[in-house]
Amino acid sequence: MVDASPITAVLGPTNTGKTHRAIERMLSHDSGMIGLPLRLLAREVYDRVSTRVGEARVALVTGEEKRVPRRPDYWVCTVEAMPVDLEVDFLAIDEIQLAAHDQRGHVFTERLLLSRGRRETWFLGADTMRPLVAELVPTASIVQHPRLSRLASAGAGKLSRLPPRSAVVAFSTPQVYEIAERLRAQRGGAAVVLGALSPRTRNAQVALFQSGEVDYLVATDAIGMGLNLDVRHVAFAALRKFDGRAVRDLDPAELAQIAGRAGRHLADGTFGTVAPLSLPDGVAAAIEAHRFPPVRRLLWRSSELDMSSIDALLASLRARPRARSLRLVDDAEDTAALARLAGDPEVRARARGEEAVGLLWEVCRIPDFRKLLFESHVALLAEIYGQLSGPSAALDAGWMAARVAEIDEVAGDIDTLITRIASIRTWTYISNHPRWVRDAAAWQERTRAIEDRLSDALHERLVQRFVERGGGAARRSRSSSGARSSPGAPSTQRRAEAEPPAVPAGHPFAPIAALRARLAPGPAAPAPEDDWARWVEALVGAPHERFSVDVGGRIFDGERLLGQLARGPTLLLPDVRLAALEDLGAGARSRVLRRLVAFARDLVEALLAPLRSPEVRALPGAARGIVYQLEQGLGTAAARDAEEQVAELAPEGRALLAARGIEVGERVLYVQPLLRRGALERRLALCAAWFDRGRVPACPAPGAVSMAVARGVDPKAYAAIGYPVFGTRALRADVAERVLRALASGEPAERLSGWMGCSAREAPRVAASLLG
């Protein structure tokens, strides 16, 4: 690909704001895509972007999750799942140093070499990539920003003496469990983050930590790739990991990536080890100074694949790179699966011709989420390919239902649930290939619901095992008061914690609390807050249609009040205040708030949809200027404020606008669809958030063509709902233009009073203002 557009490589240590800068840059363009290294991180960035611009403009694409609205402008993806054939103005790839990763590196290398935005491309990553980026992408401008906070070594310390807001990092699941259990016994508990957790479980666990219910987090290196946490200290409990082939030492750059999670934005952070473990000589100093050896070689695989036969495909996958700085990936999971299936006579008989071989390659690329025996994974792929290449060209619904039903069981321990989540991810991935399954949307909904149930159950098990209820705050309170409790009998506090907390009538959890009270749970039953967590998860994942807003800007879930639109940076960017959710923890409140802010952005996007279609965006310059004025006024603008654009508007431009319901009048510019009742109510809701209390007009009666101007109401608010003020009346924009044309033709004002919705006595004053 020719590098016609500018390319920027933003390289440097953690906490330099690379991802934040890329998101801001993407949003400055009309369209964009960002590729991220983890499904969890993609979801986090999706949440951030959709909060800014609304979910209607943002697509989320990972291997197992696709949220693609009708006409997205921005795409947030895992690197492997990026729709590479889609053209966007801005494109960014995060953590580009993963191009050196043994299993995934070739995908990142391919993006580095071939993926470009129409107008701008960014690559984000560690400074160790500087030499290879300069060699392989010579047109790239390399920039670096300093770390926003200081990262300092704190040496080794005992687990029992770790400071609050610490993350302990281990590299095996048994060790994570063992450390979390010790922290529960010593410090009240810990949240747990593993790479195998679903986003739903991970979010619930992180919410425990972020809200302060626990002060400690135990994690694998899953936290090392840009997940934003309130961590002040990172303690390594191990320095070796199994990388899929062998147990090896982590190199200093990998350790720095994880240690850099400590200290976010301007807050300084520290790192160290759990005694008696210590960092090798010189490693702490290298991490503090951010100095590491450069990456020498990247993993590579040809993107020019020959689908004429299985053997030709295998040969193209084994083609050698020409650049010495590139190394052929020699043990990729999908290539290994293809090689194994190539020895199956039945598969060979079916895989004849480019289409059949291409299908086989798609099947081989189904990830082995379960990580069990490779032979078991290959056997599943063979069965899937056999059905897809058969007469029906789709998976048998009964066969698939039976496989999925085996997984849909929430009983079991933590490891069992993690295994089931890994299994359902396979079927979620498959259901996101519409050509493979009939009624793909229904299968996607079913597998996602199963993953949600498993995730909720897993969160419950993790809390039961690793968190003492009221862990962080309660433990600190008991420690500071010097209280002691006998290990043989539960304390008064623990007995109190076993009872459901009082929930006021009308609270969103009141029905759940009442149900809990009737069920009288035993000692092992989950506390009511686990049900509350499910309610929050359902709310956060709910579609736009679940929520409604009234003319006063109040946001509802059914009849339940959730929040209130509030004044934001502009009329088009309202903020949200939560209502009646005080009993939720800080983490849960922040997630509900994010969802409601995204709803507010979608509210604006839906309202202004007639002004934001691709056809309108393609209009010539003067017409686009008029559209901008209309956007700022929620669909109405005074003609005098757009005199320059109107003067430059050619007849064909006026006709194009009119064809889309955009009227350029003598006194008022307006959008006809935005004068309808539903749009009027949404405009009132946004005005209630922006204008001072008492300066917003009342809602016009259905069909009203005008309103008497009320004392104290801001005239701009009348215009923003489509009723600009003329004299003593706020006249609906289309009616104002109709009356003006009649007046210009010589019609007396008194005879037009019915059109204006006022008395004959008042009509001349309104007419005089219109003509003036």
Residues 706-731 pLDDT 10s:
999 998 899 999 999 999 999 999 99
Position 485 scores a pLDDT of 33
The stretch 687-693 carries a mean pLDDT of 90
Window from 132-141, 462-471, 563-572, 682-691 with minimum mean pLDDT? 462-471
Window from 67-81, 132-146, 236-250, 301-315 with minimum mean pLDDT? 236-250
CA distance to 27, 68, 603, per residue, from 36 (Å): 16, 17, 28
Q: Which residues have CB under 8 Å from 70's CB, separation 6+? A: 56
Q: Answer whether residue 771 shows pLDDT above 50.
A: yes
Position 469 scores a pLDDT of 59
Position 529 scores a pLDDT of 54
Confidence band (pLDDT; 50, 70, 90) for 130? very high
The stretch 224-241 carries a mean pLDDT of 85
Position 524 scores a pLDDT of 37
Complete DSSP assignment for 608-677 = TGGGSSHHHHTS-HHHHHHHHHHHHTTTEEEGGGGHHHHHH--HHHHHHHHHTTEEE-SSEEEEGGGGSH
Confidence band (pLDDT; 50, 70, 90) for 483? very low
Confidence band (pLDDT; 50, 70, 90) for 531? low
The stretch 165-173 carries a mean pLDDT of 93
Position 477 scores a pLDDT of 41
Q: Answer whether residue 596 shows pLDDT above 80.
A: yes
CB atoms near residue 701 (< 10 Å): 8
* CA torsion, ordered 11, 17, 19, 22, to nearest 10 deg: -80
Position 450 scores a pLDDT of 94
Position 66 scores a pLDDT of 87
Range from 201-215, 271-285, 461-475, 586-600 that averages highest in pLDDT: 271-285
Confidence band (pLDDT; 50, 70, 90) for 235? very high
Query: Of the candidates 726, 722, 672, which has an alpha carbon nearest to the alpha carbon of residue 697?
Result: 722
Position 480 scores a pLDDT of 40
Q: Answer whether residue 522 shows pLDDT above 80.
A: no
CA distance to 212, 461, 547, 582, per residue, from 509 (Å): 21, 21, 17, 11
Q: Answer whether residue 236 shows pLDDT above 90.
A: yes
Q: Answer whether residue 652 shows pLDDT above 90.
A: no
Confidence band (pLDDT; 50, 70, 90) for 339? very high
Mean pLDDT of the chain: 87
Q: What DSSP designation does 275 have?
A: T
Window from 161-165, 498-502, 667-671 with minimum mean pLDDT? 498-502
Report the first-to-last Cα separation within the chain, whole angstroms.
Answer: 60
Helix (H, G, I), strand (E, B) or coil at 538: helix
CB atoms near residue 20 (< 10 Å): 15
- Strands 560-570, 573-578: pairing kind: antiparallel
Position 131 scores a pLDDT of 96
Strands (DSSP E) found in 289-330: 298-300, 326-328
Q: Answer whether residue 495 shows pLDDT above 70.
A: no
Q: Answer whether residue 116 shows pLDDT above 90.
A: yes
Which tens digits make up the pLDDT trace of 546-594? 999 999 999 999 888 999 999 988 999 999 999 877 667 666 787 888 8
**Phi, psi dihedrals of residue 6, rounded to the nearest 5°:** -60, 140
The stretch 532-536 carries a mean pLDDT of 75
Provide the whole-model pTM. Answer: 0.76
Sign of the torsion formed by the C-alpha atoms of 472, 473, 478 and 481: positive
Rg (CA), the chain: 30
Q: How far apart are CA 407 and CA 400, in angstroms?
A: 11
Q: How far apart are CA 121 and CA 25, in angstroms?
A: 10
